Chains A and B, each alone.
Chain A
Amino acid sequence: MDRIDQLFNQYANRSSNLIDPEGIEKLCSNLDVSHTDIRILMLAWKMKAEKQGYFTNEEWRRGLKALRADTLNKLKKALPELEKEVRRPTNFADFYAYAFNYCLTEEKQKSIDIETICQLLEIVMGSTFRAQVDYFVEYLKIQNDYKVINMDQWMGLYRFCNEISFPDMGNYNPELAWPLILDNFVEWIAEKQA
């Protein structure tokens, strides 16, 4: 317990008693991980961290205890296991949804702006669904219908990547309950291919 707290203090801001973005950056460089790496997000998930860019003492404790890590080294070593755990299909959907919520900064906020979404997509899905992410990001940037993305659309995209064969999309049916933005996305791709 003590060692975990000690580790916490190494990165926490004295006055707020939180690890703030600066501290996280420091942690990342110590872990040899880029701060846009998905593993940091996974760590946040494991901690059930609520606010993007900050870790509270409680959250820190929760995460490290679950990872059985009380030193930097152990933490570093725990990361691959953590990744495996998160990537299990049962967990990934939860993680994916968590990633979205993690980016909501204002109180009543329900949607995320396009630019942030693009970055988030890159982090979360970039390694597993490269093509879909690239296409979708391109589409998001040129379309005009939506300026923000909500949770329903976000989750829809996850289903899309998992269920629909790409890039032929032969099994996609626009008459089903896919979010409209995906109907439009599919149409846009079809036009490009024609």
Chain B
Amino acid sequence: MSNQKKRNFQIEAFKHRVVVDPKYADKTWQILERAIHQIYNQDASGLSFEELYRNAYNMVLHKFGEKLYTGFIVTMTAHLKEKSKLIEAAQGGSFLEELNKKWNDHNKALEMIRDILMYMDRTYIESTKKTHVHPMGLSLWRDNVVHFTKIHTRLLNTLLDLVQKERTGEVIDRGLMRSVIKMFMDLGESVYQEDFEKPFLDASSEFYKVESQEFIESCDCGDYLKKAEKRLTEEIDRVAHYLDPKSEEKITSVVEKEMIANHMQRLVHMDNSGLVYMLLHDKYEDLGRMYNLFRRVTNGLLTVRDVMTSHLREMGKQLVTDPEKSKDPVEFVQRLLDERDKYDKVISTAFGNDKTFQNALNSSFEYFINLNARSPEFISLFVDDKLRKGIKGIVDVDVEVILDKVMMLFRYLQEKDVFEKYYKQHLAKRLLSGKTVSDDAERSLIVKLKTECGYQFTSKLEGMFTDMKTSEDTMRGFYGSHPELSEGPTLIVQVLTTGSWPTQPAVPCNLPAEVSVLCEKFRSYYLGTHTGRRLTWQTNMGTADIKAVFGKGQKHELNVSTFQMCVLMLFNNADRLSYKEIEQATEIPASDLKRCLQSLACVKGKNVIKKEPMSKDIGEEDSFYVNEKFTSKFYKVKIGTVVAQKETEPEKQETRQRVEEDRKPQIEAAIVRIMKSRKILDHNNIIAEVTKQLQPRFLANPTEIKKRIESLIERDFLERDSTDRKLYRYLA
């Protein structure tokens, strides 16, 4: 390059001539406005997104954001007003469709417009904190369409009508519903709730109020519940298909309130179909339905439980106080077990093993079982029946099941000490008559009782088993040391430890010579090895097997009681005997003797003795002789009378008295125990503590406790406090 004159060559920034064209903004806006029109008229295909975007961008850049924004709102509003007129004009069914369609159109348009105005959205609107384009578009729709007076109510009513139609069984366009309702949701939660959900719930409430009233007048309980369940399922289904999930809880509450809560009492108490009917007829399905429906409402299950409880108590009370039912103790207990099984099944099948219902069942049984004072005796007799006759053919496991069920009943007893007394008596009879079929079953029950009541309850019972075992050994030893006795009558002795066995007074009785000789030999043998002990023969509890030959040579082996043996053996030496002669010879007391003679002479099929006169009762002038014509198809004939039976009234009184007597020392022991540790205690607290301590055995009577306290005061175990008369003090 030559040295030419340097010309200043500046590159100047490109200065586009700023169009300070006042019409610039207007022109740009017009373009955009036109575009919006076209978009709304579904005529957007010819538009260039890029161009429109740039125009909007420029407007904002040149500080015309406000104009743009306002224009957008005005234009859109105008369009929406037009659209709502069209929607409003739609007739009948097409109203909703039109609305839906326009809504979809609007959304599409709004999206496009938002894209075009995105720059404004991000800058101008951001900085001025105005509403963004999309939400604004929704609000405008809401204000101009949904809330347009001519649409607003009509829209809601249309929707509610459709729901109503569907509820009455018509098929509706669920897709359309979903779409329209989604519109509400899109417009905002408050719009959904205010403009749809709340009116929907109110209408539903009305609907179900009416329907439930109809149903309750016309249906029985089971059917009603089916219908209620169906409605619930429907509503849940409805929500799933076209409502906001949050509405589920609200609508189900409405159904629950109108159909269930408002009619709870009436349903449960319905004659011939309500809860009691269902329980009596094992309607598991209906009961299960009731349980599932009622648990949804406040106090629903409480209501069911209360009605069940009063029914159980009433039924149980009738069962145990009905004199007919108390005639057969085994039947009585079986009935109780059956009822318990029945309700257990109801609770497990229909009530989902609900613990509160289990408790209600238990408390009801506890209530009525104790209404009958003979329940403890009867339960013992039931066990006796099962353990004596044996549960033949039934596997061990089943025996366990029965005993466990009996234990359940036992737990309900308030007077467990009464049960103990009877159980001891019955067990004694079983053991001594050799009638217990399963030793294992006996022991199993004792273990269960021990687990339930503690060692003391069963220690005496176990003593009885020990005595039986020891006696076997003793017999072996006896015959071992007296081999000469293997000829002649066989003696089997059970030596019973007093205290373990129920006390029986010893009854006098003259044993036949050959027997008494043996007995004496045994006595000396036994006392030889057990010095310091005293043996008393319990002739009223023994049995004997006698071989007899009758007139025509019939041979039989008779199984009789000891008393009966004594009487029969007399006839070896006399053909005919009077009552007085028998009485004199045997020395058996009158009442026992009469009973004995009755069983020998007056029972059909077992009358080995004949009596003159042939009356039913034993008179003191009667005479007796052997029935030479006696026959029986069996070789072995059982005439013994040592079976456990339901006590007679006087026997029952006596047992009851013994129980009361036994309780006195127990109450005193409890009082002393408590006072010894507390030193000073007031009256009410003593009563409460004593009752609590004795509760596993029996229900202590406060009057009885008071009596015992006074007795202890008299014997200087306790004293009253000198200043506060309510207090008692322990005297060491």
Contact = CB atoms under 8 A, between A and B. Distances in A.
A37 interface: no
Nearest to B721: A177
Contacts of A152: 710, 713-714, 720
* Interface residue tally on A, bucketed by range: 10 to 19
Nearest to A180: B706
B150 interface: no
Interface in A73-98: none
Contact of B714 (A110, A159, A175, A177): A110
Interface in A146-187: 150, 152-153, 159, 175-177, 179-180, 183
Given A110-B714, A152-B713, A177 B720 contact: yes
A177 B707 contact: no
Interface in B676-732: 682-684, 702-703, 706-707, 710, 713-714, 720, 725-728
A179 B710 contact: yes
Contacts of B720: 152, 177
Contacts of B682: 177
B713 A175 contact: no
Interface string A106-126: 000011000000000000000
A169 B617 CA distance: 58
B647 to A, nearest CB: 27
B714 A176 contact: no
B670 to A, nearest CB: 17
A180 B707 CA distance: 7
A180 B703 contact: yes
A106 to B, nearest CB: 16
B728 A177 contact: yes
Nearest to B725: A177
Contacts of B683: 175-177
Contacts of B684: 175-176
A176 B726 CA distance: 7
Interface in B659-686: 682-684
Nearest to B719: A152
Interface in B515-562: none
Interface class of chain A by DSSP: mixed
A61 B14 CA distance: 149
B707 to A, nearest CB: 6
Contacts of A177: 682-683, 720, 725-728
Nearest to B709: A177
Contacts, number: 30
Nearest to B702: A175
A153 to B, nearest CB: 8
Contacts of B725: 159, 176-177
A62 B707 CA distance: 41
A174 B615 CA distance: 58
Contacts of A180: 703, 706-707, 710
Nearest to B707: A180
Nearest to A151: B714
Contacts of A183: 703, 706
A179 B709 CA distance: 9
Nearest to A177: B683
A111 B726 CA distance: 23
Contacts of A176: 683-684, 725-726
A104 B720 CA distance: 21
Contacts of B703: 180, 183
Chain A CB within 10 Å, residue with most, of B710, B713, B726: B710
Contacts of A153: 710
A150 B726 contact: no
A159 B725 CA distance: 9
Contacts of B706: 180, 183
A111 B713 CA distance: 13
A78 B112 CA distance: 128
A152 B720 CA distance: 9
Interface in A47-103: none
Contacts of A159: 725
A177 B712 CA distance: 14
A159 to B, nearest CB: 7
A111 B703 CA distance: 21
A36 B706 CA distance: 35
A176 B725 CA distance: 9
Contacts of B710: 152-153, 179-180
Nearest to B706: A180
Contacts of A179: 710
Nearest to B713: A152
A177 B702 CA distance: 11
A183 B683 CA distance: 14
A153 B710 CA distance: 9
A180 B684 CA distance: 14
A56 to B, nearest CB: 28
Contacts of A150: 714
A132 B145 CA distance: 95
A110 B710 CA distance: 13
Nearest to B714: A150
A98 B727 CA distance: 23
Contacts of B727: 177
Contacts of B713: 152
A27 B405 CA distance: 81
B454 to A, nearest CB: 31
Nearest to A179: B710
Interface in B59-108: none
A177 B725 CA distance: 7
B720 to A, nearest CB: 7
Nearest to A152: B713
Chain B CB within 10 Å, residue with most, of A110, A175, A177, A180: A177
B408 to A, nearest CB: 34
Nearest to B724: A177
B510 to A, nearest CB: 43
A110 to B, nearest CB: 6
A175 B687 CA distance: 10
A175 B720 CA distance: 16
B8 to A, nearest CB: 124
A104 to B, nearest CB: 13
Interface in B573-610: none
A72 B710 CA distance: 45
A175 B683 CA distance: 8
A111 B720 CA distance: 17
Nearest to A175: B684
Interface in A2-27: none
Nearest to A153: B710
Nearest to A184: B703
A186 to B, nearest CB: 13
A89 to B, nearest CB: 15
B723 to A, nearest CB: 12
A155 to B, nearest CB: 8
Nearest to B715: A110
Nearest to A181: B710
Interface in B263-288: none
Interface of A: 110-111, 150, 152-153, 159, 175-177, 179-180, 183
17 contacts: A110-B714, A150-B714, A152-B714, A153-B710, A175-B684, A175-B702, A176-B683, A176-B725, A177-B683, A177-B725, A177-B727, A179-B710, A180-B703, A180-B707, A180-B710, A183-B703, A183-B706
Interface of B: 682-684, 702-703, 706-707, 710, 713-714, 720, 725-728
Task: Please provide the 4 A-B residue pairs with the shortest distance between their CB atoms, ordered closest to farther.
Answer: A177-B683, A180-B706, A152-B713, A150-B714
Given A152-B720, A180-B707, 6 more contacts: A152-B713, A176-B683, A177-B683, A177-B725, A180-B703, A183-B706
